[in-house]
Structure 1
Amino acid sequence: MNQNSYRGGRHKKADPSTAFRCSVNFTASEQSKLLSMQEQSGIESLSAFIKMQIFGKPFKVHVVDDNSRIFIDRLSNMNNHYREIRISYNLMLTTLRENFNEKKAMAALYKIEKMTIELVKLNREIVALAKDFDERWLRKSP
């Protein structure tokens, strides 16, 4: 007779230590406070949140301000534009070198240099404004 050790049903867990469970009773106000804390933490599982609280693992609350998000989005769009300008600048220099004589190329290069200096000044102003915004609004200590 060939005996099969598997009789059907659920497979045994690799880590049987997860079988222990605890039960806690809350009042309505405690339950709502617990749920609001769990929502602020961003952890989807309530059991994982409770474990973190019991075993002393800190959780961080990230508050997303719409104005700061919009500012950061626009700032990253400006950085993308600067990247595009840099690529266009390199392409334009190679085109000037290949297609124009030296006098016309130098005149165009002089104009490009003036515009580049203005862009650098504008970029420095933007960076200063971003640092000021960061210091005033984003780094609030509790």
Structure 2
Amino acid sequence: MATDNNPKKRKTVGRKPKSDPAVYRYGIKLNAEENGKFELLFLRSGLSQRAKFIKTMIFGREIKVVKLDKAAMDYYVRLTNFYHQFQAIGNNYNQTVKAIKSNFSDKRALALLYKLEKITMELVVLSKQIIALTREFEEKHLHRNP
């Protein structure tokens, strides 16, 4: 049984004491408008505890707020997938031209290449439309605040 007379012996139960415990406490009161602003900033910070958020704000540590726009992410993913499909079309295009040149007579190859050229022009127009839509989307939805 540990006695209070012997300071070298410590109780072995309970939590270990912190080397620098936070013992100073401050209280503030906010009105409804201020509390609304506080809660909004707290939610944007992504921190789990209000006390850590307040300490961060007081001592000037930088808080980074990251907003994820689901629509922008979906658009980006689909555009990336479309770009990979476009690359595959280019690869298939090169293979098709080589196959046409090697397997058909010059007259037949020219006719097939003419059809391929028409489809390629349609792809170029589609590509330009995609670029225009992407720029429009970036201007409307992804404008960055400096």
- Normalising by structure 1, we get a TM-score of 0.64
The structure number with the bigger radius of gyration is 2
Structure 1 unpaired stretches of 5+: 1-19
Supply the AA of the counterpart residue of 2:131: V
| 1:36 aligns with one of 43, 64, 72 | 43
Structure 2 unpaired stretches of 5+: 1-18
1:55-97 per-residue CA deviation (whole Å, 9 max, x = no partner) reads 7553432211221111111111111110000010011011111
Q: Which range moved further: 119-128 or 64-73?
A: 64-73
Partner of 2:115: 111
Question: Helix, strand or coil: the match of 1:122?
Answer: helix
Q: Distance in 2 between matches of 1:21 and 1:37?
A: 30
| 2:141 aligns with one of 116, 122, 137 | 137
Q: Distance in 1 between matches of 2:21 and 2:120?
A: 66
Percent pairwise identity: 33
Partner of 1:94: 98
Supply the AA of the counterpart residue of 2:104: F
Question: Helix, strand or coil: the match of 1:78?
Answer: helix
Distance change in 2, residues 1:35/1:87 (3 Å): same
Please report how far the alpha carbon of residue 54 of structure 1 lies from its aligned counterpart in structure 2 after TM superposition: 6.8
Please report how far the alpha carbon of residue 114 of structure 1 lies from its aligned counterpart in structure 2 after TM superposition: 1.0
Which aligned runs of 4 or more in structure 1 are off by greater than 4 angstroms? 24-27, 32-35, 48-57
Say yes or no: does 1:62 pair with 2:66: yes
Distance change in 2, residues 1:25/1:96 (3 Å): farther
Supply the AA of the counterpart residue of 1:73: V
Supply the AA of the counterpart residue of 1:121: V
Count of residue pairs brought into register by the alignment: 120
Say yes or no: does 1:122 pair with 2:126: yes
Structure with a larger share of its residues in helix = 1
| Matched-pair contact (CA < 8 Å) for 2:56–2:62 | yes
Distance change in 2, residues 1:125/1:37 (3 Å): closer
